[in-house]
Amino acid sequence: MIVLGIESSCDETGVAVIDSERGLLSHVLHSQVELHAEYGGVVPELASRDHIRYLLPLTEQALQQAGIDKTALDGVAYTAGPGLIGALMSGAAMARSLAWALQVPAVEVHHMEGHLLAPLLEESSPEFPFIALLVSGGHTLLAEVDGIGRYEIIGQSLDDAAGEAFDKTAKLLGLGYPGGPALAKKAMSGQAGRFSFPRPMTDRPGLDFSFSGLKTFALNTMQEVVSQSDDASMSEQDKSDIALAFEQAVVETLVIKCRRALQQTDCRRLIVAGGVGANRRLRDSLQDMVTGLDGELYFPRVEFCTDNGAMIALAGCLRLMAGQSQALAIEARARWSLQELKPLS
């Protein structure tokens, strides 16, 4: 089965083509980073308009790279949520119209299921069951995964997601947008041990997260540094040291919770997906932890950690092959729980 996948949940337009027998044939991506940079964050109306501008040319490009005509498609998959409703509707309308014109089935894909299944795009992919850490700009959660559509959320953020905390702290430090990669880069020149940040909710049982307090702790630390400075300002080294302390706190918190999840479920297989999964310190720290437990750790390649069409094409292909599809009506959801998904038989 050959499936076209379209991702448009936020600020990246992704299109990919996957063949159930030959694997991923193509994937193309347009990022809106420059468009939103001057505003310091995503502007929903601008995001929707940009998706409309690029969806058709990217689809044509993906088909050309795959070496197929659109008439060779057996199905179309699209992100139906969660995300920005206008952005979701842009991609869903394009995907559903294309499927109708070609008289092939269309299937809606949960954005986080796409991330969760992204490691299956790799040559070395995990077997079920496993524990999944989904950590991105809008979501941080731990799920016990017994199969496709068989997800039990065992821990999640009670306030800011880890990616949101990265972005907000980077903005406080004046590091620009997108904040996560900028803060990680700044932390590389930081001096370890100068500042000590808390590891929230690690001193109590459970697998939930809370990262909003780290942003406040960073702000208080910055204000203290400024108050002790001769010229009432922070140096670049001050910023690097704060960035490092913040990053270490987030990473160690995630590692502690993942270790706890593996031990509580008696599972030794962990997959990590989502934009924050590209963070090098997190990857290295989780690898050390999992190795110490004689476990297995799986990541998608870095380009598939952030939003992309390949993960949507894969998830959609699996569901289409199981006989699932949607009617002509388009239903996009700003909020959508993973646990509402239908399991594959």
Query: Measured between alpha carbons, how far is 229 from 242 in angstroms, rounded to an integer?
Result: 15
Per the structure block, which two tokens stand in for 213? 């307090």
Which residue has 């932390």 as its token pair?
187
- Cβ neighbours for 212, distance < 8 A, ≥ 6 positions apart: 159, 160, 165
Q: What are phi and psi of 228, to 5 degrees?
A: -95, -5
Task: Supply the angle between the helices 212-227 and 162-172 in degrees, to the nearest 10.
Answer: 20
Side-chain-facing half-sphere of 299: CA atoms under 13 Å: 19
Q: What are phi and psi of 13, to 5 degrees?
A: -100, 115
Are the CB atoms for 277 and 299 separated by under 8 Å?
yes
Are the CB atoms for 135 and 306 separated by under 8 Å?
no
pLDDT score recorded for residue 50: 98
pLDDT score recorded for residue 329: 85
pLDDT score recorded for residue 345: 73
pLDDT score recorded for residue 38: 87
Query: What's the mean pLDDT when you consider all of the chain?
Result: 95
Per the structure block, which two tokens stand in for 108? 């809606």
Q: Which domains does the chain have, with CATH numbers?
A: 2-117+304-340 (3.30.420.40), 128-299 (3.30.420.40)
The DSSP H or E segment spanning 234 is none
Cα dihedral across residues 316, 114, 97, 85: positive or negative: positive
Q: What are phi and psi of 186, to 5 degrees?
A: -65, -35
Are the CB atoms for 33 and 177 separated by under 8 Å?
yes
CA angle (147, 252, 283) in 5-degree steps: 55
Which residue has 């991609």 as its token pair?
91
259-273 b/e (C-beta count within 10 Å ≥ 16 → b):
bbbbeebebebbbbb
Count of other CB atoms within 10 angstroms of residue 319: 26
pLDDT score recorded for residue 112: 95
pTM across the whole model? 0.94
- Cβ neighbours for 308, distance < 8 A, ≥ 6 positions apart: 7, 12, 14, 16, 27, 29, 118
User: Could you read off the pLDDT of 231-283 as tens digits, one per residue?
Assistant: 888 999 999 999 999 999 999 999 999 999 999 999 999 999 999 999 999 99
Query: Measured between alpha carbons, how far is 38 from 178 in angstroms, rounded to an integer?
Result: 11
Burial of 68 (0-12, 13-18, 19+ CB in 10 A): middle
Query: Measured between alpha carbons, how far is 136 from 155 in angstroms, rounded to an integer?
Result: 15
Pairing of strands 140-147, 130-135: antiparallel
Q: What is the mean pLDDT of each run of 10 residues along the chain (345 residues)?
A: 98 97 98 91 96 98 98 98 97 97 98 96 94 92 96 96 94 91 96 96 95 95 93 94 98 98 97 94 97 96 95 98 91 93 88
- Cβ neighbours for 236, distance < 8 A, ≥ 6 positions apart: none
